[in-house]
Structure 1
Amino acid sequence: MKKLMINNERGFTLIEMMIVLLVITIILLVALPNVTKHSSSINDKGCKALVQMVQGQVQAYYMDKQTYPSSLEELKTDDYLKGSNLVCSNGNPLSIDGKGNVIVTDSK
């Protein structure tokens, strides 16, 4: 007499897979708004840091030349700033007013 080998392998049913996908979807729906909220906060802090860095270079320029630069291009030409990307992460460029203050100009 032959013994029957019973295959006792169990897998996931379709219902179990659907429940897992539902739980993952709910977790993503809860987590994504928080991530985007923090992303804009990070962009704002990065923009403030860029303004402070450029303001420091304006002050260094003033200490050397006893006058404020008229533009960011003047700072670049005199090697106080390197690189050409002086734009905040929100797309607004930086500029210098007549009193030597670095401001974020609204590009809209």
Structure 2
Amino acid sequence: MKKVQKATVKAFTLIEMLVVLLIISVLLLLFVPNLSKQKEAVKQTGNAAVVKVVESQAELYELQHKEEASLAKLRDSGALTDEQVKAYNDYYEKNPNKSRTVNP
């Protein structure tokens, strides 16, 4: 009798596992496209923040060197990195209606 009782172990059936996998798949199909859209929105917000940094660095450069700042001058002086220059240019490519304050 004890051997028979040990053989009856509670476990998930194949149908239950398939239902759980189906639910997880549906949730992934709903959320993955939204995540990719959010990624682009976050990138745009980050680029907008970089624009403010570049403009601040340009003002500092103009005050220190008494000449007009450009992206090339700021990058050569070490005030900006290549990634910041790229983000600045990307922002204005995606927003052509806005005017640049720092020339390339």
One fold, TM greater than 0.5?
yes
Q: Which has the higher contact order (CA 8 A, sep 6+)?
A: 2
Higher relative strand content? 1
Higher relative helix content? 2
Partner SS state of residue 87, structure 2: coil
Report the number of matched residues. Answer: 95
CA distance in 1 between counterparts of 2:23 and 2:77 reads 58
CA distance in 2 between counterparts of 1:12 and 1:51 reads 55
Q: CA deviation at 1:36?
A: 1.5
Contact 2:61 2:74 in 1 (8 A): yes
Aligned to 2:87: 88
Unpaired runs of 5+ residues, structure 2, are 93-99
Deviations 1:23-78 (A, max 9, x none): 10111112112212211110000111111101101111122233312x32211233
Aligned to 1:14: 14
Contact 2:47 2:90 in 1 (8 A): no
Contact 1:51 1:102 in 2 (8 A): no
Unpaired runs of 5+ residues, structure 1, are 95-99
CA distance in 2 between counterparts of 1:101 and 1:12 reads 64
TM-score (norm 2): 0.73
